[in-house]
């Protein structure tokens, strides 16, 4: 059961919960700005959702697992995966950043690098180790051609 709780969307929900609590319970009168902050936040959330959708379509097209604790049957290097090895995690990070801006959660901004660190340690590094063992030279070439985040 822990395997199904220890998933990136659950971690994202937890970080979003912390940011929301900060915004509503401990705002301290701090503000990030006016309309431009809401616009930027909306762009980040929309971009994050779009990245996740594009990546999910590639997983479906290649008929392989999207579950981070499982080893995929195929190495996906097409579509959005040409630009980023981890577009779903990038999308999660954009959503977190965007909602922090939309909620005016100034004190929650440090949660963004903490979230990236947790995702790298809990998911990306173990996934990449599995991919190295299964796809060997093909994965090494992919890593040389495509950055982890952007």
**What is the torsional sign of CA 37, 111, 9, 139?**
positive
Over its C-alpha atoms, the chain yields an Rg (Å, rounded) of: 17
Confidence of residue 30 (pLDDT cuts 50, 70, 90): confident
pLDDT of residue 145: 97
Residue 150 lies in a domain: no
Domain count, the chain: 1
Contacts of 30 (CB under 8 A, 6+ apart): 104, 106, 107
Q: Is there a contact between 105 and 19 (Cβ–Cβ < 8 Å)?
A: yes
Token representation of residue 148: 């982890």
Which whole number is the average pLDDT over 84-92?
98
Q: What is the pTM for the complete model shown?
A: 0.95
What would the pLDDT profile of 42-80 be if each residue is shown by its tens digit?
A: 999 999 999 999 999 999 999 999 999 999 999 999 999
Residue 121 lies in a domain: yes
Structural domain range at position 141: 2-145
d(CA 8, CA 81): 18
Confidence of residue 1 (pLDDT cuts 50, 70, 90): low
pLDDT of residue 85: 98
Residue 59 lies in a domain: yes
Residue 97 lies in a domain: yes
Residue 113 lies in a domain: yes
pLDDT of residue 32: 78
Contacts of 102 (CB under 8 A, 6+ apart): 37, 38, 41, 42, 45
CA 41 vs CA 24, 119, 128: distances in Å: 17, 21, 30
Residue 35 lies in a domain: yes
Residue 101 lies in a domain: yes
CA 103 vs CA 7, 17, 26, 48, 96: distances in Å: 24, 11, 12, 16, 11
């Amino acid at each position: 059961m822990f395997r199904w709780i220890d998933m990136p969307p659950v971690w994202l929900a937890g970080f979003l919960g912390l940011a929301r609590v900060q915004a509503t319970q401990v705002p301290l009168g701090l503000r990030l700005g006016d309309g431009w902050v809401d616009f930027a936040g909306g762009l980040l959330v929309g971009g994050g959702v779009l990245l996740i959708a594009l990546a999910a379509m590639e997983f479906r097209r290649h008929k392989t697992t999207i579950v981070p604790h499982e080893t995929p049957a195929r190495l996906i290097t097409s579509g959005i995966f040409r630009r980023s090895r981890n577009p779903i995690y990038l999308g999660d990070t954009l959503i977190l950043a965007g909602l922090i801006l939309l909620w005016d959660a100034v004190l929650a901004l440090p949660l963004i690098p903490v979230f990236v660190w947790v995702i790298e340690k809990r998911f990306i590094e173990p996934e990449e180790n599995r991919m190295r063992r299964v796809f060997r030279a093909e994965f090494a070439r992919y890593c040389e051609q495509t950055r982890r985040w952007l």
